[in-house]
Amino acid sequence: MAAIVAFGRYVPERVLGNAELAEMLQCDADWILSATGIEERRVARADETVVDLAVAAARELATKPGLIIVSSASSERRFPGPAAQVAHRLGFDGIAAIDLPLASCGSLFGMALGAQLAAVYGEVLVIAAEKMSGPGLAAPLDKNVGILFGDGAGACLISGGASGLEVLDSVLHSDGSYAEDLRLEFDGPVQMNGRSVIMQASRKMPAAIEEVLSRNGAGADEVRVFLMHQANQNLMDRVAKAISVPAERIYSNIRRFGNTSSASMLIAAAEWSESNTFDDGDLVCFAAFGAGFHWGALLVRQTRHS
């Protein structure tokens, strides 16, 4: 079976704190923190592209894969997407490169696809890179949207038959009837029906987690850590309550990085793994929800092959 063998991440240097953002949005800095759990976020330079972010995150995983999957909902142009250019910049010309333009949920879908395709391609590099600060703060300004987003990229390497976080199962779902509730047109700002998004996400993410755990005969209390899309701290707390685990079991770094859309889950995974060691048999559950709506969960287990 395929296994995740490494993670990488990159966030820009510039820090945009709530005090500065509150001045821009003419709101209260304490309100931003209480509404989102975010204290600061990273913002890319004007000349720093989605491709730049993706390459910086993936350079830590210096290997030549058989396939590259790049998720981004904030690419600077309609086509080509960033995947082929990312592959070129990494020195992997000639390798198949696939774009997944899925906001928030793209890294999860990419990992699920990568786990299936590793049997064919050997190693699959999955990258999610987002430059969401621009459309998040585009005119006309909506303070309920502008307070959320930051920039960054995360990556993981999936290998067929290797020791690591063995991918046991995944569940993926989509429902286009909510397409208007969270969207980014080619021009203008991110548009969001916040009430609909939070309501659907707080129902659908726990359901997906429970679905993948049930299919594999595991309970939420057996999972070492839940690595989720960092959308909003209040949402993550709701998910923890819904699946009956302590809030600290869901790893959170949203306070420092904000919502980086599809990059957030892999940034969180990379950061968690830098400070923690997976023990043999540990279960880890990934989960995400995003525009589309798309949502799902992926279950892995630390395995060391002899």
CATH architecture of 2-160: 3-Layer(aba) Sandwich (3.40)
Averaged pLDDT score across all residues of the chain: 96
pLDDT digits (tens, 9 = 90+) for 98-121: 999 999 999 999 999 999 999 999
pTM of the model: 0.97
What one-character DSSP code corresponds to residue 261? G
Q: What percent of the chain has pLDDT over 70?
A: 99
* CA pair distance 72, 219, nearest whole angstrom: 32
46 phi and psi angles, rounded to 5 deg: -60, -35
The mean pLDDT of 222-247, rounded to a whole number, is 98
Q: Structural domain boundaries of the chain?
A: 2-160, 164-303
Distance, CA of 223 to CA of 50 (rounded, Å): 33
Task: State whether the Cα torsion 290-282-257-13 is positive or negative.
Answer: negative
Rounded mean pLDDT, 132-158: 96
pLDDT at residue 162 in the model: 76
Q: Which of 168, 198, 167, 210 is nearest to 290 (CA)?
A: 198
Would you state the pLDDT for residue 305? 62
How confident is the model over 155-175, as pLDDT tens digits? 999 999 879 999 999 999 999
String of DSSP letters for 201-247: HHHHHHHHHHHHHHHTT--GGGEEEEEE--S-HHHHHHHHHHTT--G
Distances (CA, A) of 234 to 183, 219, 255, 288: 21, 23, 11, 15
pLDDT digits (tens, 9 = 90+) for 60-75: 897 899 999 999 999 9
Cβ count within 10 A of residue 283: 21
E strand intervals along 118-163: 123-131, 151-160
Secondary structure (3-state) at 275: helix
The strand pairing partners of 14, in sequence order, are: 43
Fold of 164-303: Peroxisomal Thiolase; Chain A, domain 1 (3.40.47)
User: Which of helix, strand or coil describes residue 300?
Assistant: strand
Query: 2-160 and 164-303: same fold?
Result: yes
What is the per-residue DSSP string for 152-210? EEEEEEEEET-SEEEEEEEEEEE-GGGGGGEEE-SSS-EEE-HHHHHHHHHHHHHHHHH
